[in-house]
Structure 1
């Protein structure tokens, strides 16, 4: 099909030409039509990332995710491509970040130390622990603890997107959404982890719950949440980091229990 003819095709006709006839020009137009998804997702993920992470690299990985979505999407089922593509684009960008190893080892170790502290103290007291209690346990001042939280904030952007187990593709965030039916044993474990996640969210402070809700359910950016809550972006980032570290600790504890049962 020539470019002039393709230019006059409507949306459904472009999908038909691409999926049924493999028309490259139709595919090109679909890519151009949905580039705004890449711009939106990469823009949201860029918030809070270190300056050494190139926005162009994020967008480039996002485009690869968009192309992958176009390749695999079944347009005949009448589903929303935008929703499907957003997850593919997001996944491609996060994969690129992980492969680039953009978080220094020292930051990862610090995040793990805080996560373990949350898990230990909340298991001991069976409640949400305060910053003062965390500082005392870690043997640092409250100001130093706040600085630690701020330093590991960049890790929390992909924390819920990380695999529950290194050898698996299932992520913590996938526990929040319905998946295709799986075998009974897997389902039991999944429901157990989802219940643990729900309990973990209930134990967050009110402000932490609001941040998690606005970010992951209402799809607001950190800067938008800061405006809604009348707090600084850095404070929102800090609340988000603490919430994610608490939830990681809760899920990792439950995961270890399930592994011991297996």
Structure 2
């Protein structure tokens, strides 16, 4: 932006620190409206301005402009007080930063949502097409069939777009999937036969090229079998992982062949050409996996491109709906989780919704995602919102009771009884009482009380296992009298009584344990114990212990 002549005068006057209010009015009167700084800085309010004459600035000429700016900042900081500190704290708060960033995101139209959903589908389809061409896909499909037949897997978990609550469709799709996998197994057997013939052709003539084309045609036929079906991403990822392992195997085989080549050179044998080395590596890998190095490179490239398309579209759909998560999370505040945790749980549900979304049904994504977000937040509250976790069904029962209690309070202006709540819900009174008892949340004994941070809730709760001062005094006196009385016994008798009754030792001992300690029989220990007790019952000793006896 170009400054007008009047604005140049303003800058010059500020540098000289000799501009007063009259100069400002004079300069602004002939500054250009289009090029003035007012449009950028906003309107200036002069109602509280204190006018100073030019003469009052003369004593301040020696003060630099930067010094005056520091003084102004100090005054501003002093005047603003706590407000400025609160604003500074809020400006670096991660949650505020996140919310501000989410506010800048634009919402997607229905057409844009469909475009991203189709892009995700195209990416997954591209990966599926690439991996199904390879022979290692057939064992993976056979494993899915075994899981389906043994009820380890469900068809809705294998093929996308099938609902579990439609038995007829589930039965039809399961039967069709088993049939197609069976056809794929037959095609794979034909490919293995062609592979054996291809490996016999050592010179790579026209016959070998024709056989290789037929082998590739078998892979295309397998892809055609599942062209209209979208296999679940987890199954495709497992096959893609096998391809990556196969790529590592290629490198290992290449190193082994190169090692043999080096040994041949050292022994003076005929040197192999690079094409011979490549042919030997491809031949060995064709025997092991059914694909050569060129095929594997193209397939892995297709897999990478497909996953990139899928991830890019998924990220775009997730980011565009993060504001929806915030909106839904606000309805679950004060349920036991902090707002940031609610957003985190909601984001997990949003990502799950993106993976499960089927645009063919014609629903708007936000409508579909809201259910997944609410479900994820509800599950997060149930798992993390309480010190003692409750089952989800019990959480739902407690929530229904709270709603009934709130409605009853608004209508009758009093809390409902368990019988009235049970009548409203149509359940047993005992179940209502049990749910109300469970609904009470646990409170930590380390919860601070007051603002000093030195007093905790546990300090106000009586510890019934601890003895009071009077009991401690009584026990101390009893111990002194008992030690004095037992000192009149023989050391052996005193030791037996101490071990048998746990006096000044960790615990009491059985007759057998005491006998092992003194290397005598149990009966002998019993006799010593009886003899010691008879001595304690003597009037000269019992008189000192009478004060501690109770009726």
TM-score (structure 1 length as normaliser): 0.39
Greater RCO, 1 or 2 (C-alpha within 8 Å, sep 6+): 1
Radius of gyration: which is bigger?
A: 2
TM-score (structure 2 length as normaliser): 0.20
